[in-house]
Amino acid sequence: MHALDWAEVSYRKIIHLLSPYRGLILFGVGGIGCFYGKNFTYSILFVQAFRVSGWPTIRRAGGELKLTYHKTRASLRKELPSVLSAKDTVVRVKPQLDAACAALEKAQREGASAKELEALVLKCQSLQKEMGSAMSATSSLATIARSVDPDKIGDIVRGVYNGMVACLATALSGGAAKLGIGMNIGAVIQDVLYNVVKPFFLRMAGRSAYLRDITADPESKKWVDFGLNSVCSAVGVSVAFYMDQVVYTVSNAMVGSEIMADQVVQFLEAALDTKCQNTTISTILKWGFMATGCYHQLVMRKGELPPFLKGLLFVPLLGEKTLRATAAVLRSGGFAGIVP
């Protein structure tokens, strides 16, 4: 528990030290989303969805875990001195008890007098009583361990996971909805291509006797249709994933620009003592940051994170990989392309 106390104190110290730089930190976070958002395809929108639907679940679970933690820590602090003392007693008494038992057995074998045997028996009983009291004290650790309900913790973890999946599903649809895209891009492109490619192929087949024979044969026609469907599907999936990257890059740039603009507006309001929130100034800042971020990533192709930022953002990047893997699982179960 000393380690947990140290972690608590360290966390509070870090928060206290960083609180004066909160605005600058938020501006930097917004800048990363605006200018390097394509590296966090799902993370930024996931966090937005998480704040609305996932955070209440986490907060409730955190409250329950905190209550369990404080209960366990209080019990341990109460019992720890007696437990440590009892362990010292066990270490001290056990060799004495072993020696007394060995002496009693030896005296019985050698036919010692009744008085000597009685003295050894009393000594063994006294040591056994002391050992029993010490062992009972150490068993309080088991009582403390039982105060933590593993089933309850398991339910909390499962609830948190389900909340994360729901938030990711919301993020997958939210990115498209933010830009007004309400369709399955992959399926739409596949259908359009099929409706264009198939008539074109049939027209070409009419000019070739060999192709006419293939399209006339029912078995061959099945393979032709299968091939056309496969090609159109592959193109549709490729375009959908590309559109994913573009859509989420723009969405993340929008989120980042809003954060940056809000921090600049707060700075201007404090410096100029005038209202800038929800004015033309804030609107120009938001759209200016967003346009610059999109140009930086989509036109200039300079959205890759510098090495020092990759090291600094190692944990968020790892989280992004996890979200991408989860997104792939979601899509394999029915999420195909961008569907709100």
Sign of CA dihedral 294, 300, 303, 307: negative
Sorting pLDDT into bands at 50, 70 and 90, what band is 292? Answer: very high
pLDDT digits (tens, 9 = 90+) for 317-337: 888 888 777 766 665 554 444
Q: How far apart are CA 294 and CA 38, in angstroms?
A: 10
pLDDT, average across residues 3-19: 73
pLDDT digits (tens, 9 = 90+) for 140-166: 555 555 555 666 666 667 766 766 666
**Which residues lie below 8 Å from residue 266, measured CB to CB, with a gap of 6+?**
23
- Quick one: 337 exposed, middle or buried, by C-beta within 10 A (0-12, 13-18, 19+)? buried
pLDDT, average across residues 178-196: 56
Sign of CA dihedral 190, 196, 199, 201: negative
| Percentage above 70 pLDDT, the chain | 55
> 């309001």: which residue's tokens?
269
User: Residue 92: its pLDDT value, please?
Assistant: 78
The total of other beta-carbon atoms located within 10 Å of residue 22's CB is: 11
Half-sphere exposure of 261 (CA within 13 A, CB side): 25
Are 34 and 288 in contact by the 8 Å Cβ rule? The answer is no
Q: How far apart are CA 314 and CA 306, in angstroms?
A: 12
Lowest-pLDDT range, 9-18, 122-131, 329-338?
329-338
Mean pLDDT for all residues in the chain: 72
User: Residue 149: its pLDDT value, please?
Assistant: 60
User: Residue 334: its pLDDT value, please?
Assistant: 45
Backbone angles phi, psi at 334, to 5 degrees: 140, -15
For residue 340, pLDDT beyond 50: no
pTM passes above 0.75: no
